[in-house]
Amino acid sequence: MSDAAAPQADPTVASTITDREARAAVHVLQDVASTYNRTITYGELKEKVAAITHQPSDQVANTWANRVLNRTIRMCEADGHPRLTSLVVRSSDGGVGDGFRGAVRGSGRDNLDDPHQLEVVAAEERLECYRRFCPDLPEDAEPTLTRQYKDHVIRRNKPEPRDRPNCPTCHEQLPATGICDRCD
């Protein structure tokens, strides 16, 4: 084993790769925005970008997304595109990531620390993307939370079933009235 230090990655090469990936991400996201209410997960975006650039990444999807989507956001702003990164959602719950919060923080939006409000802002931003790139956008289109996010919120907010007491005489569960139908 040599004591020589391992060669360091050339930052210029890394920057060029990230630029290529970000341009590919813009292309993929424009395609996603061409269909009303369509979104893409971080993992799916990473795979599609790797297929376009022929530059697979061994980075975890979150790490890769932070690096590439930050550049994608800057490219969108420079080109006058809406925030295409609002189309990228987590596969676990259909919500946007923290990078999106950072991208819109300086835009005068309030309550971005509230996760639900962040999703509302993302839905508004997605509608802007659909308006720009979706040729058959319905006239009554409005900001829409992702189906996965709505399902996640419903599951999370579903009240726990209450345990009802049992009748002291027959030991069957009492109805909501609290009076045993069998014994009374």
Alpha helices in 33-143 (DSSP H): 42-53, 61-79, 98-105, 115-133
pLDDT in tens, 118-147: 999 999 999 999 999 999 999 999 999 999
Task: Give the pLDDT band (50/70/90) at residue 7.
Answer: very low
pLDDT band at 164 (very low <50, low <70, confident <90, very high): confident
| pLDDT for residue 88 | 96
pLDDT, tens digit (0-9, with 9 covering 90-100), for 107-117: 766 667 888 99
pTM over 0.85: no
Report the candidate in 63, 53, 66 with the shortest Cα–Cα distance to residue 16. Answer: 53
Q: How many residues does the chain have?
A: 184
Average pLDDT over residues 36-60: 92
In terms of Cα–Cα distance, which of 20, 152, 136, 25 is closest to 87?
A: 25
* pLDDT for the residue 135: 96
In the chain, the percentage of residues whose pLDDT exceeds 70 is 84
Q: Is the pLDDT of residue 91 over 80?
A: yes
Query: Residue 134: CB partners within 8 Å, gap ≥ 6?
Result: 33, 34, 35, 36
